[in-house]
Structure 1
Amino acid sequence: MKKYTLKQYLLFVAAIFITGIFLFPIYWMIATSVKPSSDIFAIPPVIIPDTLDFSAYINNVIEDQSVLMYLRNSFIVAIGTTILTLLLALPAAYAMARYRLKGTGAFLLILLVTQMVPGIMMAMPLFIFFSNLNLLNSFPALILGNTTIALPFAVLIMRPFFLSIPKGLEESALIDGCNRFTAFIRVVLPLTGPMLLTVGTFSFLFAWGDLIFALTLTSDESVRPLTVGITQFIGQYGTQYESLMAVATVAALPIIILFIAMQKYIVSGITAGSEK
């Protein structure tokens, strides 16, 4: 059996401790959603509930269909944002990696700067723009708004990956009779699987957790996502904590499942092309 040093044991304990700190808010959210009201406000706090009460899930997920409507809207916006981001980022990143375009460095700098711009600063210009186009209170407005956040990140992730792919693969395809487009489709695109999954997952995450654009660009409840629906449990005179945490758990569940299922591809996609 392999023997571990004291330093390795200490690092292992420290890793467990740090992981526990990051996971505790998720546990507290789930635990609060199944606590009776008396345990939620108990002093000292009840860490492990003695009894489980699932009435918050029954009342807000099964009996109240509005949460399912918000959940459906979130899926429409997140999936639409993911598809549009990939369609726009793929050709942009490929062109910046393969062609010597003037101003590429300045354009990359602009993309980096846009990652530091708060979403609230983009909400009002987009509101005015979509108002002139009569796109307010629609899924296209939310999808386009969230794409403006996800697209710079996608291009910055994809470009190094395309740089790491040898040009000889495409040149061989061109010699065999392919044009530039078919060489990209048949040779380059099949190699981008992990990178596409990584970018798609993060684009989905950006759109799923959006609240700024959802509040600014919509006022119709029929198109608002789940992030806005959660705010209904926070009132002026009190907060329905058990209902709030139950709906928040439902909102977080797809993201948790997505990252568990895609973690291998996400890690490989992020590290792909890092030597460039």
Structure 2
Amino acid sequence: MMPDSLPAEVRYRISGAAVAGPSHDAGEMPCQDAWDAAVFGGSGAAVAVADGLGSAVHGREGALAAVSAAVSALTSFFRPWPDGAGCDADIEKNSRMLNAACKAAHDAVMTRAAACGANPRSFACTLIILLWYGNVVATARIGDGAVVCLQGDEIVLLSAPHERRYVNEVVPLTDEGYEDACVLSSDLPAVTACSVFTDGCERLVLEKKPDGYHPYVPFFRPFFSAVAPLAGTPEGDRAIAGLLSSDRFITFSEDDKTLVVIVSDEGRGEDTG
């Protein structure tokens, strides 16, 4: 359950970027990924990331509609304080709020497809949602992508990628079985930073071992240290975009790539941006 109240000094800073892969650049195609985020006063924050399927003609439009609707749905659970200094969430389970956000995203994409008279599969996309309220982080994932968090000194894979038997095997948000395919994480406390990313980043930042996926610690430890101070600024966005466009990332995947970082600052007072 969500806590009854939270200290006003908790702050969240978010930076991210979505860049087209070389294969899309060569064909003059736009990036099929999209992301959106919101900060709920000093109480919490949400991040949504989506990847339009390569086989979906309107995948980018689907991804844009999905992330916007997901963040808006989570925003609706929060209500402003009377003094306007922040807001608190309705007392709901994380799972209920995340499921509501997934449904809102699904409905938004289906509505968009219907308005165009198009098959919903032409708007197919994956979706990852992160909800951070106070000291607890929880996620929902439909399809590929992952969430890695910094908990104390530990690098934790909170939401692992979809296990695939075949390349491009994924249940998209537009599928009738999207609810069954939705994977909810457990609540993770004592987190200071999180990274949400699409499958274009997976090969560089995750390791696949016999027992499943693991975060690649030699990447994430210096990454969080370098990016956390810049999060929430234009410099932070540019730094992430530059990283995703670097030879290091392109070597591992020519797919579109999205990476969003959210950082929590506590006890820094009103001067925190």
Q: Report the TM-score when normalising by structure 2.
A: 0.25
Greater fraction of residues in helix: 1
Which has more radius of gyration?
A: 1
Choose between structure 1 and 2 for higher RCO, CA contacts under 8 A separated by at least 6 residues: 1
